[in-house]
Amino acid sequence: MTHKQLSITLLAFLLSATASLPIAAAAKQEAPPSQSVTGKIVGKVSCQVSSIEKNADGTLKKCVLTENKTIPGADFTCSANKPMTLDAEGNLAQCTLAFDRSYPDPVGVVCDDGHTIDVYPNGNLAKCTAATPKTAVLVGGTCAVNQPVEFYSDGQLKECTSVTGRKITETNTKEVYISELTCAPNSVVAIHPNGKVAKCTPTDAVFMRGKGTCLANEQILLHPDGKVQECTYTYPLYQNRSCKVEDRASFHPNGNFKDCTLPDDKQVGKALCKADAPVSYRADGTVASCTLAAPAEQAPGKVIPAGAVVTIDEKQVLTEKPGTAPVKPTPPAPPAATAKPAATPEKPAATPEKK
């Protein structure tokens, strides 16, 4: 190649490179700006500004995190772009796990990431979603995977979905006899701190001596000593008109009815308690509160209207619960007055014709 040819080739290359520079610069200017979320540091966390909720004293109550946040001392990480809630003292109460968290015994469960985790003020686990089976001796089997598991603050199991059934022996006390029952598999089972079942769904009806029967396949709550606390109630071997059947009823520790729906109107002193409305009983069986089926005199010259909820003390004195008086319907507005048509003038009496 001659010197002249080399100069022409070099010149052409320089012109080509120069011509491409404005295009590259233009392309760079047209690139869309990166999307970012406006964050703000509140205390020791970075929150999305639009999500910040504060307490009356100005401290942080809740926000959506802009980045993962590892909780000191608790050894788990809250996920970015998910809500985080603090209690009144500023301790973490709830967030979404960014990574699985394995808890040693007595908790003995792996919490699944991507799910909400609840935490006690002391930093101990309160609730999470199980990523692995949890062996639950107290429940009589295993807690299901991918289902919520709850714990007491000391790490003992409180509630989970049991994969297997749990048989509960009969409770035979002076006050009330409870027949043996079996908690259905794949149902929620709760445990009292003393290790006894607090809640489950029985596979068969539960007989309560002197009170009636709890329906099968309906959730039942039990007192720590094994007696029924709440269930869907049906008739005993004899008629008992204290509570409506096929409805929820709760019981005092001595086995007597506590809260339920009244099946019939019931006269209690000056009060006529309304059927198909809530009624509360004391442990001795007397009515403590009900809804009035008819007006009742509270004192001379003072009447409590029908529909109001009243408390009834041991001497059957009535007291209306605030805010329970029935709202009087607003009377309809009178129809708008219609203009009367103008009176038609009377025709003058006809003049008799002259003959």
CB atoms within 10 A of CB 149: 22
What is the pLDDT, as a whole number, of residue 139? 57
Q: What's the CA gap between 109 and 167, in Å, rounded?
A: 24
Same domain flag for 280 and 247: no
CB atoms within 10 A of CB 281: 22
Contacts from 273-282 at CB under 8 Å and sequence distance 24+?
Answer: 274/306, 274/307, 276/244, 278/309, 279/243, 281/242, 281/252, 281/256, 281/257, 282/252
Q: Considering 228, 261, 294, which residue would you say is the last residue of a domain? A: 261
What is the pLDDT, as a whole number, of residue 355? 41
Q: Considering 128, 147, 176, which residue would you say is the last residue of a domain? A: 128
DSSP string, 245-267: TTEEEEB-TTS-B-EEE-SS-EE
Per-10-residue mean pLDDT of the chain, 355 residues long, equals 44 42 36 54 88 92 94 87 93 95 89 96 93 70 89 92 82 71 90 89 86 91 91 75 91 91 94 96 95 91 93 92 69 58 52 48
In a domain, 271, yes or no: yes
What is the pLDDT, as a whole number, of residue 336? 59
Across-strand partners of 178? 171, 208
- Residue 215: both structure tokens together: 């329906």
In a domain, 58, yes or no: yes
Domain count along the chain: 3
Same domain flag for 278 and 232: no
Same domain flag for 255 and 171: yes
Same domain flag for 227 and 309: no
Q: What's the CA gap between 113 and 97, in Å, rounded?
A: 5
In a domain, 148, yes or no: no
Question: Which whole-number Å values give the CA distances from 71 to 91, 99, 124, 222, in the listed order?
Answer: 10, 12, 12, 37
Same domain flag for 177 and 254: yes
Q: What's the CA gap between 42 and 39, in Å, rounded?
A: 9
In a domain, 236, yes or no: yes
Q: What's the CA gap between 261 and 224, in Å, rounded?
A: 25
What is the pLDDT, as a whole number, of residue 239? 58
What is the pLDDT, as a whole number, of residue 203? 92
Domain that holds residue 124: 39-128
In a domain, 24, yes or no: no
